[in-house]
Structure 1
Amino acid sequence: MKKTAVGIGLALTLTGAAATAMAPAHADPRPARSQEARATPRDGYRATRFHGERPRPVHPIASARTVRGQRLSITVLNRDGKAPDEVFVTLAPLDGGDWLGGTVVNGRLEAEVPAGRYAVMSWVTTGASSTLVYLPDVQPGDLVLDARQGRRVLPRIDRADAGLASAGLMVTQRIGGEQALMTMNEGTDLYVTPTGPAAGLALRAQAVMTRNGSADSSPYVYGLAHLNAGRLDEPFSALIRTSGLAAARTRYGTEGRPACGGGHVGVDWGDVGIGAWVGVGALPTTRTEYFTPGFTWSQDSAVTTPDCSFDSLDERSRSFAPQRAGRYARDWNIGPFTATPGTAIWSTAGAEPSLAVPMLSTWDSRSMLAPYAGTVGRSVLRDAQNRVVYQSDEPGTAHDWPAPPPGDYSLTLDATRKAPWSDHTSTQHTVLRFTVRDGEPTALPGIRLRTPLDERNHARSGVPQPITLNVAGSTAAPSLQVSFDDGHAWRKATIHKTGANWTATIPNPSAGQVSLRMNVPGLLDQTVIGAYRIG
C-alpha cells in the first residue's frame, strides 16, 4: 500500500517543491504556450503551481497497432486562420484505450489509427495566445481544429481598473467509464472553443484579477471560479458583481522588520488544482480579497526579505471555502508560530519525508516543512526505554526513517529561529508521545495556539491577553504556564473549556516578550520561548 502524507493538506504544504511548477499540458510534454509567453520571467517561488492529477501519458500515433485502422486527416488553423508551423494533437479513445498523439506540421497530419470514437484536443498558439480546440466525441476521418471559434477567458467585473492577472482551465471527461483529466493550462491570453454535449464533459475555469492585472502587488484581488458541466463554452460570460462575492479583509503581517509578501491562489477541485502567483508587496499591509462562493480555494502565502527575492522565505497554506457572499476576516503571517499536528509517514522513497510536522504554523494556516529561514534545530525519535531510534538535523522533518517496531515512542522537536525579517529570537521545545502499531502513517498529536496580535506580531502592554488552545488527539484538559523572563520562572494560568477549545487570560507585562508552556499528560509538552513580543 502506498504511504501518503496523511493530514498534511495540499501538496504545496509539504515542501516548496512538492507542488511542482510545470508547463501547461494536455499530455504533450512541450509547453502549450508561444515563445513570447514562455519568455516571461515567472521562475522560483513565483512560478505557477500545478498539483494533483496529470493527464494520461500519450503514445506516438505511429506506434498504434491497427489491425483494422481508419484513416485520420487533421487540419489545424490558428486564430488568424493560418496553419501553425507545429502543434501537438492528442487523441483519447473514449473506450479507455491508450492515448495517441502527434505533431501537426504546417497545419496538416495524415495517419492511420485504430477504429473507434475519440476525444481530440490541441492547444493552438496565435502570437502570445493559446486556444484549446476540443472535439469531445468524433470518429477518425477528416477533422478540422479551428481556433477561430475560440472564446477568450476574460471575466467582466464591476470594477473599472481590474485587469486579468491569471486564467486557468481544466477539462475533464468520462473516458472508459472513469472521469479523467483531459487537459489543463494557465496564462493571461487563453481561449476555448465551444462544444456540443458529451458524457461527463466539464470545463473548470478560474481567474485572478487585480488592479491593472498586476501580478506583483495590488490593493485588492479577485479569485473567480466557474464550472460548466456537460459541454465546453465561454466561462464567465455574465457580468460579475462584487456584491455577489465573499469579501475577505486580509491582514498580511510582518515580524517587526521590513519584509515582502506574495503567494498563490486557485480553486481546489479535489483531484487537481492550479495555483496562480499573486504578489502582495511590502509588509505589513491589509487588502480585501474577493472569492466566488461555493468553491474551496487553496492558498499559500510567503514572507521574504524587503527586496522581494523569495530566495529565503517562510511559507504557509490554508483552504478557504466561503459558502455565501458576505464579509470575512483573515490573517497571514500573524502568529504565534508553533508546531501543529503532523504525521510520521515512515517513508523511505524519494523526496517524500518520513516525518512531517509543520513547525511555524498558525491557528488556521500550516507552514511548509523545514528547512526554515534563520532556523536551526533537530528531531529525535526515542523508544519507551528512552533509546535514540532516529535523529534528524532539521526540526519537524526527516527522511529515510522506516517504520520502527510496534511500541510506544516519543518525538522531541527543537527549533531556534531568528528570521531576517524578525525582531526577536524564538525557541520551541516540543515532546510528542504516541504509539506505533504497524508500518502505516501515524498521526502525531499537537496543539493549535491563538492570541490576538497586531500586524507586527506584537501584543499591547499591560492588558489582559486571551489565549486559545485546541488539542488534537485528546479530550484531556491541557495545562498552560506563562513566563515573562524567557522561561526562568513560570506561573500557572487558569484554563477553561470553551466549546471545542480551551481558553485562558493572562496579564501582559509592560515590555519584553511572553513565553508559553502547554502540557497534556501522556501526550505532549510544548514550550515556546518568545511566543510573542510586547510593544
Structure 2
Amino acid sequence: MTGPDGATAPAGLFTASARQVTVPAGGKKEVTLTADTGVDAADGTWSGRLVATGQNSRLVTPFAVHREVESYDVTLTDLDANGEPTGQHSTVLVNLDTDIDKAFWEPDGTATVRMPKGRYGLASRIFTGDGVAVIARPELVLDKDTSITVDARDAKPVEVTATLPQKGARLFQANVGYSFGTAKGTLATFGVMGSSFDGISVGHTGSPASGEKFTALVSGQWAEPGADGTYGNSPYLYASAEEFEGRLPDGFQENYEERDFATVRQDFRNPSGGELGGFRYLDPIVGIVAGYALPVPVPGKRVEHVTGGTAWSSALWLNDGTMFESPLRTYRAGRTYDDLWNTAPYGPNLNATHTFTGVGRLEDRLTVKAPLFGDGAGHPGDAPVSAGRTALYRDGELAGESAYAGFGSFTMGADPATYRLETSATRASGDLASRIDVAWTFPSARADRYTRPALLALGFSPRLDADNAAPGGQAFKVPFTVSHQPGSTGRGKIKKPAVEVSYDDGKTWRSARVAPVGKGWTALVRHPEGPGFVSLRTTAGDSAGNRVTQTVMQAYRLK
C-alpha cells in the first residue's frame, strides 16, 4: 500500500475483515475491506492490492481511497440582465495559492462544486443578448459552505471615445481585462477584447484587494483604415489605457483628447537591407493582452500616441522569424520620444516581457525564457538559429539540457548549490551576432514562491551608423552596463568587468581597457583599418558569487 509521494500507509487506514478464509468447492466467501480516512494520514490518494492465494490459484484485487483535503461546497448562480438564472456565462474560481482554476457551469445557471479550503478569485462573463457583463471578485476566503450570486445587473456600461486631430481615425480595438496575482508569483488573466465597446459592461463584487493581488484595465486603440478596411498601413496609432488597482470599476466612461497622449516615433530597421516587413502590437501592462497585431513596413516608421501614466509594452515581429519585445515603459503626456528597433549589438536581455520572462525558479523547477538576440536599443529578442543548446549544471554536474537556445525547464535540488546555466546559438541568417555563447553562474536553494536568481546582464551601446558599423583604423569607445536580472534576489556588489575584442572571428583575442563611466563602464578598443567585424567577449561578477561570461561573434561591423 502506498500513498501520496510514495508514503507508507499508517496502521488502521485499511482493514480486512479476515486474514484467512476457506472456500468450499463451487462456493464463495466474502472479505470486506474497510478504509478509515479518520486516521492520521496525508491527504490524497492511497492505493494497494488485496492478494488472496491458494494451492493452485492467486486472486489480486486493486483498491484505492481518496482522503479529501478540507473542502467545502460552493454553489454559484449567474443571473442575466433580467435577473433570471442563466447558463449563458463563463465563470471560474482561481485558487490564489496554487494558480489552479475551476469552471462552474450548469444549463440552469446554478452549479455546486466541492472546492478545497483556501483563497479564490472569481472571474465571470455573463452573455446578455448582444453584450457581455464582465464581473470579478478579487478575493473570496472559502472556509465554509458558500453560496455566491453573480448578477449581470451589477455591471455598468463601458463607453470610451477619443477626439483626435486625425479625422479618419477609427476605434478598432476595445479591451476590458484583469489579472489575479497568486502566491506563486504568477498572474491569472481574464477579460474580453473586440473591435467596439458596444454592449460591454463591467462591475465589481466583494471587497477591494491590494494592487499586487488584482489589477484591471480598460483600453482602446484607434488608427486610420485603408481602402480594404484594415489598419495595417495607418501611419499613426492612438492607444489609451486606464488602470485600476484592487478592483474592477463599476462601469467606465472617458473621452480622450490629444493632450492626454505622449508621442512615440517608432523606427523599424533591417540591418540586412531590403524590404522585410513585419507585425507590431502595443499593450499596456504585462500580463493582460490588450492589443491586436498590425502589419508595419520594415524598414519603416510609425508614429504612436499613448496615454501617459500607464506602463506600456510592445513587440515587433519580423517576417524572417525574428521578434523583439519591449519591457514596460511609462511616458508623460505631451512629451515626444524616439524608439529604435533591430539594431546591433545583439545579445541576451533579461528584462521581462509578455513572452520572454527571463530566468525564474519555483520550488525545484528552473524556467528559462531568455532569448539571446535582444537588440542594441534594449528590446529582448529572438531569431531563427541553425543550432542551439541550453544546459544547467549543479555543482559542476549536468542537471539537464535543452536543444533550444535560451529556453528550457530544469529540475533543481532543494539544498543550496552553485548552478551554471549555459546557452548558445548559431544564427541561421545574417552576418551580425553570428554566434552567441553565455554562461551564468549563481547560487540557489529551494523557493516556495517564484523567485528570479541574480543573473548578470550585459548591455552594449556603441555609437554605430545606420549600417551597424563603426569606423576602422582608430580608437573607439564601447559603453556598456552590467546589471542584475530585474526583480532578482541574492545580489552582490558588482566587480570590475573584463572585455576582450577579436577582429578575426575569435582566432585571437586582445584585452580592452575598461573604466567606470557614470553608472556603467566603457571599453576602449582600437579598430584595425578596413572593413570587417568586431567580436566581444566579456566576463563580470559580483560579491555574492554571481558571474557571467558572454561572447558575441561579429557584434558589429567595421567600415
Letter in 1 for 2:555: A
Shift of 1:288: 1.9
CA distance in 1, matches of 2:344, 2:551: 15
Secondary structure class of the residue paired with 1:155: strand
Q: Is the 8 A contact 2:134 2:191 kept in 1?
A: no
Structure 1 equivalent of residue 222 of structure 2: 209
CA distance in 2, matches of 1:144, 1:382: 53
Shift of 1:233: 3.7
Letter in 2 for 1:160: K
Q: Is the 8 A contact 1:171 1:204 kept in 2?
A: yes
Seen in structure 2, the aligned counterparts of structure 1 residues 156 and 122 have a Cα distance that, compared at 3 Å, is farther
Q: Does 1:163 align with 2:177?
A: no
Kindly indicate which of the two structures has a greater share of residues assigned to strand. 2
CA distance in 1, matches of 2:394, 2:81: 67
Seen in structure 2, the aligned counterparts of structure 1 residues 477 and 363 have a Cα distance that, compared at 3 Å, is farther
Structure 2 equivalent of residue 336 of structure 1: 345
Shift of 1:479: 1.9
CA distance in 2, matches of 1:480, 1:488: 16
Q: Does 1:190 align with 2:205?
A: no
Q: Does 1:285 align with 2:285?
A: no
Structure 2 equivalent of residue 88 of structure 1: 89
Seen in structure 2, the aligned counterparts of structure 1 residues 156 and 435 have a Cα distance that, compared at 3 Å, is same
Shift of 1:330: 1.6
CA distance in 2, matches of 1:327, 1:366: 19
Seen in structure 2, the aligned counterparts of structure 1 residues 111 and 279 have a Cα distance that, compared at 3 Å, is closer
Secondary structure class of the residue paired with 1:442: coil
Letter in 2 for 1:321: T
Seen in structure 2, the aligned counterparts of structure 1 residues 428 and 233 have a Cα distance that, compared at 3 Å, is same
- Counterparts of 1:241-252 in structure 2 under 5 Å? 241=258, 243-252=259-268
Shift of 1:506: 3.9
Structure 2 equivalent of residue 520 of structure 1: 540
- Counterparts of 1:66-77 in structure 2 under 5 Å? 74=80
Shift of 1:168: 0.6
Q: Does 1:433 align with 2:441?
A: yes
Q: Is the 8 A contact 1:354 1:401 kept in 2?
A: no
CA distance in 2, matches of 1:131, 1:455: 49
TM-superposition CA deviations, 1:336-368 (whole Å, max 9, x none): 11124453637777xxx6434331123564536
Q: Is the 8 A contact 1:167 1:186 kept in 2?
A: yes
| Greater shift in the superposed pair: 451-460 or 508-517 | 451-460
Q: Is the 8 A contact 1:468 1:504 kept in 2?
A: yes
Structure 2 equivalent of residue 254 of structure 1: 270
CA distance in 2, matches of 1:437, 1:225: 39
Q: Does 1:358 align with 2:376?
A: no
Q: Is the 8 A contact 2:189 2:288 kept in 1?
A: no
Shift of 1:437: 4.2
Structure 2 equivalent of residue 31 of structure 1: none
CA RMSD of aligned residues (A): 4.6
Secondary structure class of the residue paired with 2:292: strand
TM-superposition CA deviations, 1:231-252 (whole Å, max 9, x none): 534433x3411x4422112221
Shift of 1:151: 5.6
CA distance in 1, matches of 2:323, 2:535: 21
TM-superposition CA deviations, 1:418-470 (whole Å, max 9, x none): 33xx3556112223333344467633223222223455544456676542221
Seen in structure 2, the aligned counterparts of structure 1 residues 391 and 200 have a Cα distance that, compared at 3 Å, is closer
Q: Is the 8 A contact 2:279 2:295 kept in 1?
A: yes
Structure 2 equivalent of residue 50 of structure 1: none
CA distance in 1, matches of 2:386, 2:407: 13
Letter in 1 for 2:305: Y
1:412 alignment partner, one of 412, 419, 422: 422
- Counterparts of 1:84-233 in structure 2 under 5 Å? 87-88=88-89, 122-126=126-130, 130-132=131-133, 150=157, 152-170=159-177, 184-191=191-198, 192-193=200-201, 200=208, 204-212=217-225, 214-227=230-243, 231-233=249-251
Q: Does 1:398 align with 2:389?
A: no
Secondary structure class of the residue paired with 1:259: coil
Q: Does 1:533 align with 2:538?
A: no
Seen in structure 2, the aligned counterparts of structure 1 residues 319 and 190 have a Cα distance that, compared at 3 Å, is same
TM-superposition CA deviations, 1:127-184 (whole Å, max 9, x none): xxx4547799xx999x88699x9565443322212222311113699xxxxxx99962
Q: Is the 8 A contact 2:458 2:480 kept in 1?
A: yes
Shift of 1:208: 1.6
Shift of 1:483: 2.2
Secondary structure class of the residue paired with 1:277: coil
Seen in structure 2, the aligned counterparts of structure 1 residues 479 and 226 have a Cα distance that, compared at 3 Å, is same
Seen in structure 2, the aligned counterparts of structure 1 residues 493 and 280 have a Cα distance that, compared at 3 Å, is farther
Letter in 2 for 1:292: T
Seen in structure 2, the aligned counterparts of structure 1 residues 458 and 302 have a Cα distance that, compared at 3 Å, is farther
Structure 1 equivalent of residue 21 of structure 2: none
Shift of 1:526: 1.6
Seen in structure 2, the aligned counterparts of structure 1 residues 461 and 170 have a Cα distance that, compared at 3 Å, is same
Secondary structure class of the residue paired with 1:443: coil
Secondary structure class of the residue paired with 1:452: coil
Secondary structure class of the residue paired with 2:293: strand
* Gaps in structure 2 of 5+ consecutive residues: 1-72, 94-101, 113-121, 138-146, 181-186, 210-214, 351-357, 485-492
CA distance in 1, matches of 2:75, 2:497: 66
CA distance in 1, matches of 2:379, 2:346: 10
Secondary structure class of the residue paired with 2:345: coil
| Greater shift in the superposed pair: 514-523 or 291-300 | 514-523
CA distance in 2, matches of 1:355, 1:502: 27
Secondary structure class of the residue paired with 2:265: strand
Shift of 1:373: 1.0
Q: Is the 8 A contact 1:348 1:399 kept in 2?
A: no
Letter in 1 for 2:196: D
TM-superposition CA deviations, 1:186-243 (whole Å, max 9, x none): 111222348899964997311122222844343222221135788534433x3411x4
| Greater shift in the superposed pair: 353-362 or 287-296 | 353-362
Letter in 2 for 1:168: N
Q: Is the 8 A contact 1:89 1:102 kept in 2?
A: no
1:480 alignment partner, one of 461, 476, 499: 499
CA distance in 2, matches of 1:428, 1:194: 48
Identity of aligned residues (%): 19
Q: Is the 8 A contact 2:243 2:310 kept in 1?
A: no
| Greater shift in the superposed pair: 432-441 or 219-228 | 432-441
CA distance in 1, matches of 2:399, 2:124: 54
Alignment length (residue pairs): 420
CA distance in 2, matches of 1:465, 1:218: 40
| Bigger Rg, structure 1 or 2 | 2
CA distance in 1, matches of 2:136, 2:420: 57
* Gaps in structure 1 of 5+ consecutive residues: 1-62, 78-82, 93-97, 104-108, 174-179, 306-311
Q: Is the 8 A contact 2:232 2:295 kept in 1?
A: yes
TM-score under structure 2 normalisation?
0.62
